[in-house]
């Protein structure tokens, strides 16, 4: 009888010990591994990223002042994941661009006065926006398309130089920026990625000195993304 009781007791101890080991082993116990891991291979669950992009822009309004595209533009930003589904990410963007255009020498008449000169027109734009992006695929994929919207403020400075003279004005405005693009990883769940996106900027900036109203532009950006967790 004692042997039977001793055998049952030992079996019970082994069973409890085995269950305890199973319970605290995250690789075996789903109850202890409820977090969403982006990639079982790497174990990295990225929940934010930072990016720096070159930004090329083309003016869509007031083309009599400047109509040429600008290749002098940069965007710097970050995003933070809102939930475990890798769908909604929130963050902020800071951007700047410089537009310039040269007008050959010609005669300008105002009233009874005339002046013959060439012109250099410039527009300097700066923006800061809060952004919400929606990613259509899980973030561990190599190609992850997205659509986003940025809302914030814009500061524009307009300048015109002629002969040895010049004039300038500046203004603040409200900015709306819809955007669509893709993140391209170098492998699945890559910590480094390429960001390529198109965006449309609409701001309420105006300049009465240059008869400039509602600055609008279309841009394409491409840059480097660093994922983090």
Kindly list the averaged pLDDT for each block of 10 residues, start to end, along the chain of length 229.
Answer: 45 45 41 43 81 97 94 97 92 97 85 82 96 96 97 96 88 97 96 98 92 92 97
Q: Which residues does residue 192 pair with via DSSP β-bridges, in sequence order?
A: 226
Domain 46-228, CATH class in plain words? mainly beta
Closest CA to 184 of 144, 146, 224, 140: 144
Segment (H or E) for 150: strand 143-162
Residue 24: what pLDDT? 37
Task: Sketch the domain layout of the chain as residue ranges.
Answer: 1-34, 46-228
CA dihedral 159, 220, 140, 147 (to 10 degrees): 90
Q: Please say whether the beta carbons of 221 and 56 come within 8 A.
A: yes
Segment (H or E) for 101: strand 88-110
Q: What is the pTM for the complete model shown?
A: 0.76
Residue 148: what pLDDT? 98
Residue 177: what pLDDT? 98
Residue 30: what pLDDT? 46
Contacts of 162-168 with C-beta under 8 Å, sequence gap 24+, read 162/115, 162/117, 162/118, 162/119, 162/120, 163/117, 167/209
Residue 43: what pLDDT? 59
């Amino acid at each position: 009888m004692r042997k039977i009781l001793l055998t049952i007791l030992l079996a019970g101890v082994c069973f409890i010990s085995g269950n305890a080991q199973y319970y605290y082993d995250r690789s075996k116990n789903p109850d202890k591994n409820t977090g969403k891991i982006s990639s079982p291979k790497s174990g990295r669950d990225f929940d934010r990223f930072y990016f720096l992009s070159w930004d090329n822009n083309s003016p869509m309004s007031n083309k009599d002042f400047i109509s040429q595209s600008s290749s002098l533009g940069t965007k710097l930003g970050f995003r933070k994941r809102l939930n475990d589904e890798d769908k909604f990410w929130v963050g902020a963007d800071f951007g700047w661009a410089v537009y310039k255009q040269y007008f050959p020498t010609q005669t300008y008449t105002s009233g009874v006065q005339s002046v013959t000169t060439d012109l250099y027109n410039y527009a300097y734009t700066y923006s800061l926006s809060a952004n919400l992006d929606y990613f259509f695929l899980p973030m561990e994929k190599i190609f992850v398309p997205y659509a986003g919207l940025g809302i914030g403020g814009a500061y524009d400075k307009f300048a015109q130089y002629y002969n040895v003279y010049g004039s300038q004005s500046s203004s603040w405005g409200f900015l709306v920026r819809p955007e669509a693009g893709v993140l391209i990883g170098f492998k699945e769940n890559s910590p480094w990625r390429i960001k390529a996106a198109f965006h449309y900027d609409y701001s309420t900036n105006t300049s009465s000195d240059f008869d400039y109203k509602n600055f609008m532009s279309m841009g394409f950006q491409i840059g480097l993304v660093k994922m983090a967790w």
